[in-house]
Amino acid sequence: MATVFDRISNIIRANINDLLDDAEDPEQMLNQIIRDMSDTLRQADSDIADQIAQQKMIEGDLDAAQNNVAAWQSKAERAVSKQRDDLAREALLRVNDYTEQVGIYEKQLEAQKKAVTELKSKRELLKSKYDQALRNRDNLVARARAAQAKSKITQVANKANTADYASELERMERKIRQQEARAEADEEVAETKTSVEDELDQLEADDQIEAQLAALKAKMGN
């Protein structure tokens, strides 16, 4: 009985909403919780029946002990009436034994009734929570999923708040400007190199023309 008491107590104390909020699959978790509740209810019903049967056995033992007290008390009185003190003493010993048994059975019966009442009470609390979970299955799953989505959005928002996007953009812009400046410098260097080469080529062309002109003048006697 202690086991089913513990299971019922744990389930009753459990906050279903918190369990679903932490679950990766709220619907699967809720279905598992409902199955656990159903299994525990069946076990509680079986245990309650066992305890009631035990209570009835104790009641039977108590009735028998009380009847024995009355019977041996009657025998003691009869022995006294017959002036058989020896038998009366023996009968009174039996009366005392059965009276002690009556006290023991009464305490057992009181404890047993209390255990049955407590188990029935916890079983009713669990049944109420089970019925509520069945009625609110879809709503609970929806709330759990909404809570998970809200949590994820909050996490993303917190990430965005902590990230220094302005600094990142400034760093990227500076890098682009460096690349642009390097490209312009390379272009300028290339243009300077081309200009010098062109001038040198022009000088070479001028020298060739002058040589040709001199040769032509010499040929013509000038």
**Cβ-count burial 126-162 (b if 16+ within 10 Å, e if not):** beebbeebeeeeeebbeebbebbeeeeeeeeeeeeee
Per-residue model confidence (pLDDT) at position 218? 79
Per-residue model confidence (pLDDT) at position 133? 82
Per this entry, what is the length of the chain? 222
Per-residue model confidence (pLDDT) at position 25? 74
- Contacts of residue 89, defined as CB under 8 A and 6 or more positions apart, other chains included, come to none
Which pTM value belongs to this model?
A: 0.56
- Cα 95 versus chain centre, distance: 61
What does DSSP assign to residue 58?
H
pLDDT per residue as tens, the chain (222 positions): 557 767 777 776 767 766 666 666 777 778 888 888 899 899 999 999 999 999 999 999 999 999 999 999 999 999 999 899 899 999 999 999 999 999 999 999 999 999 999 999 999 988 988 888 888 777 777 776 776 666 666 666 666 555 555 677 787 888 888 888 787 777 776 666 666 676 767 777 777 777 776 777 777 775
Per-residue model confidence (pLDDT) at position 192? 61
Please report, for the chain, the start and end positions of each structural domain, with discontinuous segments joined by +: 2-163, 172-222
Into which CATH architecture does domain 2-163 fall? Orthogonal Bundle (1.10)
Per-residue model confidence (pLDDT) at position 137? 79
